[in-house]
Amino acid sequence: MGRRIAAKITGVAGYVPPRVVTNFDLQKVVETTDEWIRTRTGIRERHVVDKGVAASHLATEAAKKLLAKKNVAPEEIDLIVVASVTPDMMFPATACLVQERLGAKNAWGFDLSAACSGFVYALTVGAQFVGAGTHRKALVIGSDVMTSILNFEDRATCVLFGDGAGAVLVEPAESEDECILDFHNDVDGSGGCFLYMPGGGSLNPPSQETVEKKMHYVHQEGQQVFKYAVRKMAEVSCQLLERNGFSIKDLALVVPHQANLRIIRAMQERLGLDDSKVLVNIDRYGNTTAGTIPLGLRDAVNEGRLKKGDLVLLVAVGAGYTTGGMLLRWAY
Ligand SMILES: CC(C)(COP(=O)(O)OP(=O)(O)OC[C@H]1O[C@@H](n2cnc3c(N)ncnc32)[C@H](O)[C@@H]1OP(=O)(O)O)[C@@H](O)C(=O)NCCC(=O)NCCS
């Protein structure tokens, strides 16, 4: 029996900035080809912010769309959790900026840093407050502007990411048929050295030296992350299914983190999971870090791939290493 949370997702929305950068555009910036990026990652294009647009702006747009769609007034929101590794600034938290712009004057909120697992972590936390009965409408948002920390001279990282945000509304669940059935989140800090941004924090505060040494960019050992992601995403998916008495065939849809299409397909192979049960949109957005899973849920809803009662699995691996998995019954 899993760790039930008496909470459900009752709405989802997303926002990506309008400007599209294709692989062909990147060919003009760095030594790469559309063919390499497509075959090695599955990405064709990504959305990129213009100067002056930050994580809070994308998060606010996604949240506004969600509230409009659900006909919920901003004052009804009582909690805002924002997952991001590219907040507008060190402080105040992105959640505070979003709260102000939305006019969600009865909400408290905070940011959470778990990289690509950020949305699953944030959903776990937001849902716990709702499940405990102390909160009735939580906004859980994943928002990242990865292009703000990309080194466009490093072809092995700059082609992978895009900017975007997604938001879900979490409300109390009435029964087991519509709740969060289980979650598994873990950390393996020994992987911290394979994906990180060394500059800008209290260890290496910004200075001419940190800029010259390119410490304000994503540093990654891609193959290490790749192998860990495939293994952990498959392992956690199995664990969650098994301990709740389900098998792969019971799943209606898996919404995995979108880091690399080959990671997703390798995970599927381990699980024996058919393409038809996996949401893939990396071709259009690249890796939007905390944005991928809510954007995936949005696309799944828009494409009519989710219906009430469906068994849905969310799974992600990210810098840290962090891993997040959640099994839920789709509630609408
Ligand atoms: C980054 C990643 C796409 C690289 O793919 P890969 O198959 O492991 O490729 P390698 O790193 O072995 O590089 C193979 C070759 O392609 C080259 N290459 C790397 N990026 C390239 C690019 N954009 N265009 C063309 N060639 C490129 C490398 O320089 C290397 O050349 P070499 O053989 O002459 O040295 C892949 O490792 C990956 O996706 N890792 C996971 C990253 C991730 O998801 N991070 C987010 C956190 S979840």
- Of 253, 31, 325, nearest to 156 (Cα)? 31
| Full pLDDT tens readout for the chain, 332 residues | 789 999 999 999 999 999 999 999 999 999 999 999 999 999 999 999 999 999 999 999 999 999 999 999 999 999 999 999 999 999 999 999 999 999 999 999 999 999 999 999 999 999 999 999 999 999 999 999 999 999 999 999 999 999 999 999 999 999 999 999 999 999 999 999 999 999 999 999 999 999 999 999 999 999 999 999 999 999 999 999 999 999 999 999 999 999 999 999 999 999 999 999 999 999 999 999 999 999 999 999 999 999 999 999 999 999 999 999 999 999 99
For residue 21, with 0-12 CB atoms within 10 Å meaning exposed, 13-18 middle and 19 or more buried, which class applies? middle
* DSSP 8-class letter at 49: P
Residue 212 sits at φ, ψ, to 5 deg, of -60, -35
Which helix (H) or strand (E) segment holds residue 284: the answer is: helix 282-285
Q: Could you tell me if 183 and 327 are in contact, meaning their C-beta atoms sit under 8 angstroms apart? A: yes
Q: Is 223 in the pocket of ligand 1 (CB under 6 A)?
A: yes
pLDDT at residue 71 in the model: 98
Ligand 1 atom nearest to 158, measured from its CA: 23
Q: Could you tell me if 181 and 330 are in contact, meaning their C-beta atoms sit under 8 angstroms apart? A: no
Active site positions, annotated: 116, 257, 287
Count of CB atoms situated within 10 Å of the CB of 70: 16
The reply to whether the predicted model has a pTM over 0.85 is yes
The 79-83 sheet, strands edge to edge: 7-15, 163-172, 138-145, 79-83, 108-112
Q: Is 36 in the pocket of ligand 1 (CB under 6 A)?
A: yes
- For a substitution probing ligand 1, which of 223, 228, 323 has the most ligand atoms within 8 Å of its CB? 223
Q: Is 191 in the pocket of ligand 1 (CB under 6 A)?
A: no
Q: Could you tell me if 197 and 90 are in contact, meaning their C-beta atoms sit under 8 angstroms apart? A: no
Distance CA 226, CA 22 (A): 23
Q: Could you tell me if 94 and 143 are in contact, meaning their C-beta atoms sit under 8 angstroms apart? A: yes
